[in-house]
């Protein structure tokens, strides 16, 4: 079968690889009909994610038709259309019993590697690093889905792929990120990053009772979408001082809830900045702006909450711990506990309460996917979300 594979920083290509097949009784095999590229894939493309191996198949936002089932699978059968969550969970360990599915103790195939890097192993993830199990991903013609009896959602007839595809990751991610904000009615919620996650998080913040949503980015098309579809007030961080503008908007108090929907991209830029800092300071140059975590901690009102759906990798530098502690802020973060949210959000899609397909700007075939990665990374042609249809 054909699959999109990683071959080092900046290189992805379509390779011929062995067909996906049933390996365990709880597996299913899905013929992929739609699969998206995620901001997390860009971290891999950019070489920010450790423990990747050349030839790894990427992709963790897949859906399609079930073509084979393992002998322990009861709830889905051949021919069913399903959406597959990016987290792999056993459904019965200490963590799954507490609905902390992305922390599942059982599904990481390379727990020793993970323990060395993180102290403990998080759950297995599709199409990601070997620190999260090194499972082959879904930007391919077929996908083996392990532990398919946990989280895989059957799609009711009549709902097109594009309406339900984002149940695989970014809609639940946006929802959990908004939930992690702990929004109280009328709160001002500020969201850094108007990529796919940020766009949907704006919608989820409204659903959970925000009184005002402010969205921050510098890509004009993304800011326009945040205004038009998200009814958010926007700040272009290249044109305005984010701290000054947020203080002005909140009469000096700061937003009640802040969200970092940017993650490692800004971290990488921040790391670069701090590496340059001593040199720049030596010649008396100031920095134009801090990176997102610093900025959000600085802007958040005292006693407020910082929700971080943005993915971070390894160590991050220069967290203003003094401000965090003295302002009494709460931080919540994590990979999304997918099965907690998928059916509930499917219900909202069926009821017409949300249709996340408006964020799709690019539709490509599998052969065109390597080029589409670059379009998405460079935010060319107004690109906000790419959907691949292997066909």
Q: Which residues bind ligand NAD (CB under 6 A)?
A: 38-40, 42-43, 169-170, 173, 192-198, 216-219, 222, 237, 261-266, 292, 309-311, 335-336
CA proximity to 60, closest of 149, 145, 148: 145
Contacts of 116 (CB under 8 A, 6+ apart): none
Number of residues that bind Zn ion (CB under 5 A): 3
Interacting partner of 375 out of ligand NAD, Zn ion, none (Cβ under 5 to 8 A depending on kind): none
Q: How far is the CB of 118 from Zn ion (least distance, A)?
A: 19
Told to check if 27 binds Zn ion by CB under 5 A, we report no
Longest dimension (CA), the chain: 68
Q: What part of residues 129-188 is at the interface with Zn ion (CB under 5 A)? A: 169
Query: Which entry of Zn ion, ligand NAD, none binds 309, CB below 5 to 8 A by partner kind?
Result: ligand NAD
CB under 5 to 8 A by kind: which of ligand NAD, Zn ion, none does 345 bind?
Answer: none
168's contact among ligand NAD, Zn ion, none, with CB below 5 to 8 A by partner kind, is none
Write the CB contacts of 251 (distance below 8 Å, at least 6 apart in sequence): none
Q: What gap in Å lies between CA 274 and CA 293, rounded to an integer?
A: 14
Dist CA 176 CA 171 (whole Å): 9
Q: Which is nearer to ligand NAD, 41 or 105 (CB)?
A: 41
Hey, what are 202's tokens?
A: 């704006």
Using CA atoms, how far apart are residues 371 and 100, in angstroms rounded to an integer?
A: 36
- The answer to whether the beta carbons of residues 275 and 205 sit under 8 Å apart is no
Burial of 262 (0-12, 13-18, 19+ CB in 10 A): buried
**Chain center to CA of 49:** 14
SS3 at position 103:
helix
Interaction residues for Zn ion, span 40-99 (CB under 5 A): 40
Angle at 137 between CA 133 and CA 138, to 5 degrees: 155
Q: How far is the CB of 220 from Zn ion (least distance, A)?
A: 24
- If the CB atoms of residues 7 and 289 are measured against ligand NAD, the closer one turns out to be 289
Query: To which residue do tokens 């408006």 refer?
Result: 358
Distance CA 336, CA 169 (A): 8
Q: Provide the minimum distance between the beta carbon of 16 and ligand NAD in the complex, in angstroms, as a whole number.
A: 28
Residue 213: CB minimum distance to ligand NAD, A: 14
Q: Of the candidates 29, 38, 140, 359, which one interacts with Zn ion according to CB under 5 A?
A: 38
**CB 361 to Zn ion: min, Å:** 17
- Residue (78 or 238) nearer to ligand NAD, CB: 238
157 versus 288: smaller Cβ distance to ligand NAD: 288
Minimum distance between the CB of residue 38 and Zn ion, rounded to whole angstroms? 3
The three-point CA angle 191-188-234 to 5° equals 45
The item of Zn ion, ligand NAD, none sharing an interface with residue 136, based on CB under 5 to 8 Å by kind, is: none
Query: Which of residues 35 and 40 has its CB atom nearest to Zn ion in the complex?
Result: 40
Give Cβ neighbours of residue 303 (< 8 Å, ≥ 6 apart): 327, 328, 329
Least CB distance from residue 264 to ligand NAD, whole Å?
A: 6
Q: CA 309, CA 311: separation in Å to the nearest integer?
A: 6
Least distance (Å) between residue 125 CB and ligand NAD = 9
When CB distances are held under 5 to 8 angstroms depending on the partner's kind, the choice from ligand NAD, Zn ion, none that residue 215 binds is none
- The verdict on 197 binding Zn ion (CB under 5 A) reads no
Q: Which stretch binds Zn ion (CB under 5 A): 39-47, 298-306, 338-346, 375-383?
A: 39-47
Q: Which residue is nearest to Zn ion (CB)?
A: 38
Select from 38-46, 144-152, 222-230, 301-309 the region that touches Zn ion (CB under 5 A).
38-46
Nearer to ligand NAD, 62 or 309 (CB): 309
192 binds, among Zn ion, ligand NAD, none (CB under 5 to 8 A by kind): ligand NAD
What residues have CB less than 8 Å from 188, skipping those under 6 apart? 210, 211, 212, 213, 214, 249, 250, 255, 256, 257
Q: How far is CA 275 from the centre of its chain?
A: 27
- Cα distances (angstroms) measured from residue 23 to each of 27, 143, 148, 206: 7, 12, 12, 43
Which residues of the chain form contacts with Zn ion (CB under 5 A)? 38, 40, 169
């Amino acid at each position: 079968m054909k699959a999109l594979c990683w071959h080092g920083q900046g290189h992805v290509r379509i390779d011929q690889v062995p067909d996906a097949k049933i390996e365990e009784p709880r597996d299913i095999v899905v013929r992929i009909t739609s699969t998206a590229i995620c901001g997390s894939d860009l971290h891999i493309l950019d070489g920010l994610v450790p423990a990747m191996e050349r030839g790894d198949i990427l992709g963790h936002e897949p859906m399609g038709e079930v073509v084979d089932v393992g002998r322990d699978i009861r709830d889905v059968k051949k021919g069913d259309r399903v959406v597959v969550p990016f987290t792999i969970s056993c459904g019965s360990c200490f963590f799954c019993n507490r609905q902390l599915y992305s922390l599942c103790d059982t599904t990481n195939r390379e727990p020793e590697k993970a323990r060395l890097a993180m102290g403990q192993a998080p759950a297995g993830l599709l199409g990601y690093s070997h620190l999260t199990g090194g499972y082959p991903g879904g930007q391919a013609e077929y996908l083996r889905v392990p532990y398919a009896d946990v989280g895989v959602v059957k799609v009711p007839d009549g709902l097109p792929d594009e309406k339900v595809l984002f149940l695989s990751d970014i809609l639940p991610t946006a929802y959990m990120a908004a939930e992690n904000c702990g929004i109280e009615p009328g709160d001002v919620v500020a969201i850094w990053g108007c990529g796919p996650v940020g766009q949907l998080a704006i919608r989820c913040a409204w659903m959970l009772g925000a009184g005002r949503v402010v969205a921050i980015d510098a890509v004009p098309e993304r800011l326009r979408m945040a205004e038009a579809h998200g009814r958010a007030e926007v700040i272009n961080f290249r044109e305005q001082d984010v701290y000054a503008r947020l203080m002005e908007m909140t009469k000096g108090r700061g937003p009640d809830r802040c969200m970092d929907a940017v993650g490692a991209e800004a971290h990488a830029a921040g790391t670069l900045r701090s590496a340059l800092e001593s040199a720049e300071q030596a010649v008396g140059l100031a920095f134009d702006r801090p990176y997102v975590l610093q900025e959000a901690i600085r802007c958040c009102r005292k006693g407020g909450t910082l929700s971080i759906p943005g993915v971070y990798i390894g160590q991050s530098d220069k967290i203003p711990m003094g401000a965090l502690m003295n302002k009494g802020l709460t931080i919540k973060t994590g990979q999304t506990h997918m099965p907690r949210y998928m059916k509930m959000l499917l219900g909202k899609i069926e009821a017409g309460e949300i249709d996340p397909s408006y964020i799709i700007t690019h539709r490509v075939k599998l052969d065109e996917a390597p080029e589409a990665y670059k379009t998405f990374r460079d935010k060319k042609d107004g690109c906000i979300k790419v959907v691949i249809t292997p066909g």
